[in-house]
Amino acid sequence: MPVTMEYDVTVIGAGIHGAGVAQAATAAGYKTLVLEQYLQAGSATSSRSSKLIHGGLRYLETAQFGLVWECLTERRRLLRNAPDLVQLVPFLIPVYKHTHRGPITIALGLMLYTILGGGGFKRIPKSQWGELDGVMSEGLKAVFQYYDAQTDDQVLTQAVLQSAQQLGAEVKLGCEFHSAQAGVNGCEVEFQHDGVSQKINTGVLINAAGPWVNRALEKIDPLPRRLDIDLVQGSHILIPGTLEHGVYYLEAPQDHRAVLVMPWDDAILIGTTETRYQGDPADVIPIESEIDYLLEVYNYYFSAAVTESQIISSFAGLRVLKREHSRIFHRSRETILHIDKKNCPRVLSIYGGKLSSYRATGAKVIRQIAHLLPERTRKADTRTLPLPT
């Protein structure tokens, strides 16, 4: 007897990737279920990012041109489809005598960013430097301005999930994926909802569990091949104050990494760090040395000296990066879609990725699994679909 599929697509995780896949799947006409262990969508990494919808100017240094182009294309779409959720803000890059990247390097980077869809840049005349939120003027050689976008990452995630629900997706919050029996024709999935164990059948299983990605794969029989990854935590601190002129893109004096000082919620958000993490993803919090590092960067560039006791709040999220020998800062930030075709051809895992390119990632996932699913009638095109506010 053939098994009846209750769902075409089942997604583990309602972070931005789970929400994006659910939106793409329902838009393509597939019957879709989302399982999320927390009571709110976007409670993990997707509420702890730097909250930027951007191409990632710094990825040009590592020649990740495809990633920058894709993210800038998605930025343009989000500005059109979700103007209440995603807004352009000015970014300022002060260049000092001591900074590693000089004015010519920055100008070349911004030219390339413009070509890839960044929307142009300019040099702020010296006569206006005094107006720039008290940023250090000693040794200042040039200040560049360009535009990128900010969003509330968790609100965006919830809007994308709501869009999926409007198209027919079923979402179970407070629901933990427990195990799956993966076959050649589909998967039998078991989960816990309200303390009750339930089973469903699905055509394909999408593992969008973020930093839990390999833990989710360990619950599948037969055991799929997993990628070797590092979890790298990035922390932010929120301090009192206001920034009138936008986001400051600074070079940390300690190690020359890019650190952002951003206006956020009538305060100032500073981030981020890169610290290897080995514990349970649910327990990640900023550590003392990260807080010191971020305060040092801020106090170096801005005249108002802020102490730890003034920090309003702090948070940390986990990047999922493929294990490589290169330094963390230089590792690829491309999203990896992984299927163990031999053992589990109907299980696809999403490793890493960007908030900014969630829609493109959802569309790529659907292109990869479409041949495994029955023909359905398309309901919408996510490239032009407005997000609910």
Ligand X SMILES: Cc1cc2nc3c(=O)[nH]c(=O)nc-3n(C[C@H](O)[C@H](O)[C@H](O)COP(=O)(O)OP(=O)(O)OC[C@H]3O[C@@H](n4cnc5c(N)ncnc54)[C@H](O)[C@@H]3O)c2cc1C
Would you list the DSSP string of 219-286?
Answer: TEESPPP---EEEEEEEEEEES---SS-EEEEE-TTT--EEEEEEETTEEEEE---EEE-S-GGG---
Per 3-state DSSP, the chain is made up of helix, strand and coil in percentages (nearest 5) of 30, 35, 35
Q: Which is nearer to ligand X, 37 or 382 (CB)?
A: 37
Whether the CB-CB separation of 88 and 78 falls below 8 Å is answered with: no
Q: Which is nearer to ligand X, 8 or 153 (CB)?
A: 153
Q: Which is nearer to ligand X, 145 or 235 (CB)?
A: 235
CA-based nearest residue to 241, from 315, 134, 128: 134
Q: Which is nearer to ligand X, 137 or 192 (CB)?
A: 192
Q: Which is nearer to ligand X, 43 or 162 (CB)?
A: 43
Smallest distance, Å, CB 322 to ligand X? 13
Q: Which is nearer to ligand X, 115 or 282 (CB)?
A: 282
Closest residue to bound ligand X by CB: 15
Smallest distance, Å, CB 208 to ligand X? 5
CA-based nearest residue to 234, from 142, 123, 355: 355
Smallest distance, Å, CB 339 to ligand X? 17
Smallest distance, Å, CB 17 to ligand X? 4
Name the site residues for ligand X (rule: CB under 6 A). 12-18, 35-38, 43-46, 49-52, 176-177, 208-212, 216, 234, 272, 317-319, 350, 353-356
Smallest distance, Å, CB 34 to ligand X? 9
Smallest distance, Å, CB 36 to ligand X? 5
Kindly tell me the sign of the dihedral angle through the C-alpha atoms of 53, 55, 56, 62: positive
- Cα→Cα distances 234→50, 51, 178, 358, Å: 9, 12, 28, 19
Instruction: Count CB neighbours of 169 within 10 A.
Output: 25
